[in-house]
Amino acid sequence: MLQTLRAKLLFYLLLVSMIGIVLVSLFIQWGFDKSFNKYLELNREHKIERVVSQVKAKYEQEGIYTDYNILSLMHEYALSEQLYFHIVDETGRTRLNTAQIRNVMNQAMIIVPENEDDWQTESFDLVVGGRSAGTITAIYPHGFIKEESTFLQTIQVYIYGAVALTAIIAILISMIFSKTLTSGLKKLQFAANQLQNHNLGIRIPLRGLPGEVKQLAISFNSLAESLSKEEMLRKQFTGDLAHELRTPLATLRSQIEAFQDGIWEPTPQRLEASHAELMRLVRLVNELEKLLDAENPQIHLEMTRLEAGAILSTLWEMFVPAFTRKGVKLNHSLPDKEEWFIGDRDKVMQILSNVINNALKYTPEGKQVTISVTGVNEYSVGFIIRDEGAGMAEDDIPHIFERFYRGDKSRDRKTGGAGIGLSIVKALMEAHKGSIQVTSKLNKGTAITLWFPREEG
């Protein structure tokens, strides 16, 4: 019982609705009864006061207690309201008693209370000219008379009918509301089960979902999209890694088998070629280790304040020999003033070295690479590495930081490297809470800007 969210929602909605309906109906009935009873009492008091005042006035004027008009009024009250009057003079002799009409009413099958305990009386002294002229006693039943009780019962029937109708409407609305609210959660549950069963293409339709559930569905769809992308990258990474390992391993295998079979003599040149293939494997493994370290969420950074110009000068001196050997000119442009930022010095050098190495690999002889610093951003300091290489197509730019990605599939692996350097750059920049901007044009070159925050946090 009440195992599902819909059952619990329906139960508590109905419980709150029923409690509210019962309380409101009781309050309405109690308030109506009280107000109606108060109205009857005030009306009765007004009628008694009217009779008493007319009798007193009549006695003051003519020395008699009643006349035709007063008798008609008393009889009207007796028949319609069961309000009777008993008038006695100063000697105690009865002058008028309309209570005798009760016997006539009982004979006419109009039931009136017979027990004296069921009647209530109020007495009023007639004082005229400073002396007592008698007493008027008003007699009326406790509670409501038949007509008044019938009226109250009719009102109660209407109240009970309204309560029943309201309860039915509350049940229907609660069922519809609980179904509408939980339908989105059921869709989410179904999608989660599908995702658990490795159906990464599952998505939740957003149309018709409540606002809160829609936000949850959007988050779920984003998670599913991310998992799908990660799965695709994992498969791609596995395939690329196998391809990267297969080439040097196949080369080494063929060379060693040739040595074993006596087909090749182990000359220094051939041993050097085998050693080169082995070092390719070593570099690949080293790059993978660096990538794993960079992508580790628990990576520890020794954050200190660094001056961009000093970093730039160090990099220029470090890379000038390599650029000179290839015939590529390396320019550097120091900032006009000191630009300070927060970073781990070793990791910053690794990031910038990877990007500069990448520019060196793809810039042909006779061209140039320029490294500079920009401080135009109030919150960040940027390092710009601009080359005059072959550039990239616009469609390739979003993918250059993926593992083993190469826009030009025909590019030689020995020239292109392991294809992991920029992935390491991206991971380390995210660890620094920095950002990367890339602009490139085919046959024109590429510019990469690395933004480091000026303040930590």
Work out the pLDDT band at 189, boundaries 50, 70, 90: confident
What CATH class is the domain 300-453?
Answer: alpha beta
pLDDT at 264 over 50: yes
- Candidate ranges 74-83, 87-96, 360-369; pick with highest mean pLDDT: 360-369
**Over the chain, what is the mean pLDDT?**
83
5-162 and 229-298: same fold?
Answer: no
**261 falls in which pLDDT band (50, 70, 90)?**
confident
pLDDT score at 301 = 85
CATH 3.30.70 assigned to domain 5-162? The reply is no
C-alpha span between 402 and 231 (Å, rounded): 13
Predicted confidence (pLDDT) at residue 415 exceeds the cutoff of 60: no
Give the residue-averaged pLDDT of 53-68.
Answer: 87
Domain parsing of the chain, residue ranges: 5-162, 229-298, 300-453
Instruction: For residue 139, give the nearest of 90, 86, 87, 101 by alpha carbon.
Output: 86
Closest C-alpha to 290, from 353, 227, 359: 353
Q: By percentage, how much of the chain surpasses pLDDT 70?
A: 88
Q: Which of 404, 377, 397, 389 is nearest to 437 (CA)?
A: 397
Topology of the domain comprising 229-298: Helix Hairpins (1.10.287)
Per-residue model confidence as pLDDT tens digits over 201-255: 888 888 777 677 778 888 888 888 888 877 776 777 677 677 667 777 887 888 8
Mean pLDDT along residues 176-180: 76
Predicted local distance difference test score (pLDDT) of residue 413: 47
The model's pLDDT over 276-319, given as tens digits with 9 standing for 90+, comes to 878 877 877 777 777 777 767 667 888 999 999 999 999 999 99
Assess contact for 449 and 384: CB atoms under 8 A: yes
